[in-house]
Amino acid sequence: MRLIIISDIHANLEALEATFRRIDEINPDKILCLGDIIGYGPNPNECVKIVKNKVDISLSGNHEYGVLGRTELQSFNKNARIACEWTKKVLSDENLAYIKNLPVSVVDEDILLVHSTPINPERWDYIFTARDALYQFMEFSEPLCLVGHTHVPVCFGERGTCVFTDGGLLFPKEGTKYIINFGSVGQPRDYDPRASFGVIDTEERKIQLVRVAYDIEKVQRKIIDHGLPLFLAERLGTGT
Ligand code: ZN
């Protein structure tokens, strides 16, 4: 089975469309989305609609929780808070109803899917380091746990960190658990501004990180036109 994993789209329509053009070439069996469809970017309604129509399993992230009032907006930084408040104003009732029903964690194909962390996923903690990952391994029994939230692609093996190779390929060892983050479609923060997503071939035990270029300037202009914080436009250009 060939699975596609997308996460942290953040209302970036151009990045999402470019990502789906590549996904269509791969012809996957299933598409999974790990949350944060909205927030930061200028096209929340369009992005929710695409996810609703094309994604098989979709999770909630902290930005959905922020817009729904389930997570205090005070816990967000200023730019995220301004974007969340703007998103709340423009999101249609139909799309609001869709994000209301998204779960925070799901097990599918013997893979744990969660936006933030296996331990207490609604606390929205981050897994940045091997040390952060260490405690999380005790919380799940599946061989793979897929996370988003940091916007930084990384793979942690239960017995030490393992990184994606230059071609983005990783072959997991049998009998070892992994926590993998495929980065962000709509706001990458690993100094590579291209959209980022993952492909897992469960038969071949092949895991691949894919990067896709998109029209960043178009999104930056929309962010500025909507009066969203300038920093949110600038960071797309630098991948930070
Ligand atoms: Zn995010």
pLDDT digits (tens, 9 = 90+) for 77-117: 999 999 999 999 999 999 999 999 999 999 999 999 999 99
How many angstroms is it from 61 CA to the middle of ligand 1? Answer: 7
* φ/ψ of residue 207, rounded to 5: -125, 130
Percent share of the chain, pLDDT over 90: 89
How many angstroms is it from 36 CA to the middle of ligand 1? Answer: 5
Task: Spell out the residues 6+ positions from residue 164 whose beta carbon is closer than 8 angstroms to its own.
Answer: 153, 154, 155, 170, 209
> Does residue 67 surpass a pLDDT of 90?
yes
Q: Across the chain, what does the average pLDDT equal?
A: 95
The mean pLDDT of 217-225, rounded to a whole number, is: 98
Q: Quick one: tokens of 183?
A: 């980065």
**What pLDDT sits at residue 164?**
75
How many angstroms is it from 183 CA to the middle of ligand 1? Answer: 9
How many angstroms is it from 174 CA to the middle of ligand 1? Answer: 30
- Phi-psi group of 197: left, alpha or beta (phi > 0 → left; psi -120 to 50 → alpha; rest → beta): beta
If pLDDT is split at 50, 70 and 90, which confidence band does 165 have? confident
How many angstroms is it from 80 CA to the middle of ligand 1? Answer: 10
What is the 8-class DSSP label of residue 70?
A: S
How many angstroms is it from 234 CA to the middle of ligand 1? Answer: 16
**What pLDDT sits at residue 96?**
98
The total of structural domains in the chain comes to 1
How many angstroms is it from 8 CA to the middle of ligand 1? Answer: 4
How many angstroms is it from 9 CA to the middle of ligand 1? Answer: 7
CATH of the domain at 111: 3.60.21.10
- Nearest by Cα to 41 from 75, 69, 5, 82: 82
> With contact defined as beta carbons under 8 Å apart, do 187 and 41 qualify?
yes
Helix (H) or strand (E) holding 30: strand 30-33
**What pLDDT sits at residue 168?**
76
How many angstroms is it from 10 CA to the middle of ligand 1? Answer: 7
Task: Spell out the residues 6+ positions from residue 91 whose beta carbon is closer than 8 angstroms to its own.
Answer: 38, 44, 45, 48, 67, 99
> Does residue 192 surpass a pLDDT of 80?
yes
Domain of residue 93, residue span: 2-238
Q: How many secondary structure helices (H) and strands (E) does the chain include?
A: 8, 12
> Does residue 191 surpass a pLDDT of 90?
yes
How many angstroms is it from 109 CA to the middle of ligand 1? Answer: 24
> Does residue 9 surpass a pLDDT of 80?
yes
If pLDDT is split at 50, 70 and 90, which confidence band does 162 have? confident
> Does residue 170 surpass a pLDDT of 90?
no
